Chains A and B, each alone.
Chain A
Amino acid sequence: MSRALIVSRAAPGMTVQDLGRPGYLRFGLSRGGAADRSALVEAGALLGQDQGLAAIEMTSVGGTFEATEDVRIALTGAPMRATLDGARLAWNASHLLPAGVPLVIGPAEEGTYGYLSVGGGLSTPEILGSRSAHLTAGIGGAIESGAELPVGPDGGTTVNMALSDGGAARRVTGPIRIVSSLQTALFPEAERARFEATVFHRDARANRMGGRLLSEGEGFAAEAGLTILSEVVVPGDIQITGDGTPFILSSECQTTGGYPRIGAVLPSDLPRVVQARPETDLHFVFVTPEEATEIERNETARRAGLRQSLVPLVRDPWKMRDLLSYGLVGGVVNAHDADAISY
Chain B
Amino acid sequence: MQSPIIRNAGYDGFIVTFGDRLGEGANRAALAFRDALEQAGLDGLEETSTSLVSAYLRFDPLTIDHDDMRARLEALLKSRDWEGVALPHGRRLWRVPAAFDPEVAPHLDDAAELAGFDSRDEAVRSICGQPVRVQTIGFAPGMPYLGQLPECWDIPRRTTLTDNVPAAAICVAIRQLVLFPNMTPTGWRHIGQTRLKLFRPQAEEPFILRPGDEILFVPVSLSELDGYKDDPDGGAVAEALE
Contacts and interface: CB of A to CB of B under 8 A. Distances in A.
Interface of A: 22-29, 127-128, 136-139, 179-182, 227, 229-232, 234, 236-237, 254-256, 264, 266-267, 289-290, 292-293, 296-297, 300
A232 B66 contact: no
Given A138-B141, A232-B49, 8 more contacts: A27-B137, A28-B137, A29-B199, A229-B54, A231-B17, A255-B138, A293-B62, A296-B11
B11 A27 contact: no
Interface string B124-152: 00000000000011111111000000000
Interface string B1-36: 000000111111101010011100000000000100
B62 A234 contact: no
**Interchain residue pairs A-B with the least CB separation, the first 6:** A264-B10, A232-B56, A26-B49, A256-B138, A25-B49, A29-B141
B117 interface: no
A176 to B, nearest CB: 13
Nearest to A185: B7
Interface of B: 7-13, 15, 17, 20-22, 34, 46-54, 56, 58, 61-62, 65-66, 136-143, 181-182, 199, 201-202, 206-207
Contacts of A139: 201
A110 to B, nearest CB: 26
A240 B181 CA distance: 26
Contacts of A300: 62
A340 to B, nearest CB: 43
Given A23-B47, A231-B51, A237 B10 contact: yes
Most buried by A among B58, B62, B136, B140: B140
Given A27-B207, A266-B11, A293-B61, A232 B139 contact: no
A256 B21 CA distance: 16
Contacts of B54: 229, 231-232
